[in-house]
Structure 1
Amino acid sequence: MAFVKLCSSISKQIIQPAFRVQKLSTPFSRSLSTAANYEFIKVEKKGEKENIGLITLNRKKALNALCDGLMNDISNALDSLEADKSIGAIVLTGSEKAFAAGADIKEMQNKTFSECFSGSFLSAWDRVSKTTKPIIAAVNGYALGGGCELAMMCDIIYAGEGAKFGQPEILIGTIPGAGGTQRLTKAVGKSKAMEIVLTGNQFTAIEAEKWGLVSKVFPVEQVVDEAIKLGEKICTNSNLIVAICKESVNSAYETTLSEGLRTEKRLFYSTFATKDRKEGMTAFLEKRKPDFTGE
């Protein structure tokens, strides 16, 4: 959740260059759908085979604070990318200044308990975590509150050297509400998660990598390119087996060891019903590259 107010104070302390989306060295790029009307995001196809969907958060004046409209845009974009068979992986990013500086406090200021409870407030924000295709967060700048939670909904986090993470909801009299206390604890452990959420302190990309929250750290200008390269590497595998593997890893993340092992075994068995498993093993024995079809 957090923090338009917090971000306002932050922005006063830092130089405010004109908002820009990071340039990519990859020459292949086009709009995913000219018919799509997104107010708060940009959606493009990236990579040499245009098989990577790139979603860029684009709330220029609010450091990409997460409002309902922006989250609805993300949800709709994910629906389109999931349905597009040419897309094998997705990258989610913001600007060099802010991945997402938090939730929009103005939208939450006057909400009541009954409104939140009866309306299942923030429940729709989980759409990112329910994506079947692998999704990589490319984080630069501030990823605070809801921004940190959004990054943690992704499967892999790549971060720029200047990225700052945090769950500062405690500073405005509330707690994380979109997975901050849950996913963070799974990622970094109880003690470190308690320190982060009870103090509201920010932490760096290097610390996030050390604690296991971030996979890799890169120079700011390389983060999105590296995330796209990772997506392209993933796309060389069977998209069907990738989805099955993702489900198995998530099982380890969300269940007990014994239940996770049972799930893994069942999913392992299920690959033997696919043409791609047979093609992969045959290609290995014939010492050639496999020709996966997603079947």
Structure 2
Amino acid sequence: MEDATVVVSTVGRISTVTLNRPGARNAISSALLRELRAAFADADANPEVGAIVLTGADPAFCAGLDLNELGNSGTNLRVADRDVPVGQPWRTLSTPIIGAINGAAVTGGLEFALHCDILVASERARFADTHARIGVLPGWGLSVLLPLAVGRGMARRMSLTGDYVPADVALRAGLVTEVVAHQELLPAARRVAESVVSNDQDAVRALLASYREIELALSSGGTEIEARTAREWLARGDPSARVAARRDAVVARGRAQYEGQSLPEK
């Protein structure tokens, strides 16, 4: 039997969801996306769960779409779920998600992070948007959420260059709320989750829903524009062939940057 690509552990009122493809740097396969959506839906439906912590099995948080699957069949680009709104990777949850970013959060992995409500990062965390480097366009709200998180200039710099942003720069930019020693990451994320679950849960969920509705209003239809742009891009040619041709170069360049050639500080 194939190992689970997502592992769930619930202790007290906190459910920890771990992306579990460490050999592939937790890249998003069709199986992983389906399992993640199911895990979130189950946790959200459980009245005993007050917060979700999302993390990855070391050494990465999530390296984005699995380029092997994307370059061969492209099925991980088209995992249907009618309950998932446009511009989101999973269905809308009422439960707060704390992202514990333990390593590289790249492209689709960065979009996963952006859809968390609070981010805590390990000192080893790195963030990058390599959509343009790979030859695909975002479809999970990155072009809406990234500028809201880090500002117009930093968002465009990340997207147009594909360069990596280290944890300390991400903290100053406002992408993450805290950077801790790697071994302290999950305890730190759990402390945030414990503070959340100690509050009035009806108030927490109502306030979170309000934040999200305001965010959608501020985007002024941005998710629909992003979705239309992605559809038009796909109509120009098969993304699988484009990715297959660029895959080795993309991986090599990303590895070199992650190991020490990150986006310089201004």
- Range into which the TM-score falls when normalised by the shorter chain: 0.7 to 0.9
Query: How many residues get paired?
Result: 216
**Letter of the aligned partner of 1:194 in structure 2?**
R
Counterpart for residue 88 of structure 2: 126
Contact preservation (8 Å) 2:70, 2:77: no
Question: What residue in structure 2 maps to residue 83 of structure 1?
Answer: 45
CA-atom RMSD in angstroms:
2.7
Aligned partner of residue 255 in structure 1, secondary structure = helix
Relative to structure 1, is the Cα distance of residues 256 and 198 closer, same or farther in structure 2, using a 3 angstrom cutoff?
closer
| 2:102–2:125 contact (8 Å) kept in structure 1 | yes
> Match of 1:249, as an amino acid?
Y
Task: Say if 2:9 is the partner of 1:44.
Answer: yes
Amino acid in the other structure paired with 1:45: T
Equivalent-residue separation in structure 1 for 2:156 and 2:96 (angstroms): 29
Alignment partners' CA distance in 1, 2:126 and 2:91: 21
- CA positional deviation for 1:226: 1.0
CA offset at residue 249 of structure 1?
1.4
The residue type equivalent to 1:44 in the other structure is S
Look up the equivalent residue of 1:66 and give its one-letter code: I
Q: How far apart are 1:195 and its partner, in Å?
A: 0.7
Percent of paired sites with the same residue: 32
1:143 aligns with: 105
Cα distance between partner residues in 2 of 1:202 and 1:221: 22
With over 3 angstroms needed to count, the CA separation of the structure-2 counterparts of 1:110 and 1:127, relative to structure 1, is: closer
- One-letter code of the match for 2:70? M
Return closer, same or farther for 1:85/1:116 CA change in 2, 3 Å cut-off: closer
Query: What is the 5 A alignment of 1:1-295?
Result: 39-46=4-11, 50-110=12-72, 126=88, 128=90, 130-256=92-218
Moved over 3 A (4+): none
Q: Which structure: larger Rg?
A: 1
Q: Secondary structure at the match of 1:126?
A: coil
Aligned residue identity for 2:206: I
Q: 1:81 to 1:134 in 2, by over 3 A?
A: same
CA contact (8 A) 2:118 2:176 kept: yes
Equivalent position SS for 2:188: helix
Give, as a single letter, the amino acid of the residue that structure 1 aligns with 2:194: E
Does the CA contact (< 8 Å) of 2:22 and 2:59 recur in 1? no
Question: Which ranges in structure 2 are unaligned for 5 or more consecutive residues?
Answer: 220-266
Match of 1:273 in 2: none
Shift of 1:172: 2.0
Unaligned runs of 5+ in 1: 1-36, 258-295
- What TM-score do you get using the length of structure 2 for normalisation? 0.74
Instruction: Supply the AA of the counterpart residue of 2:202.
Output: L
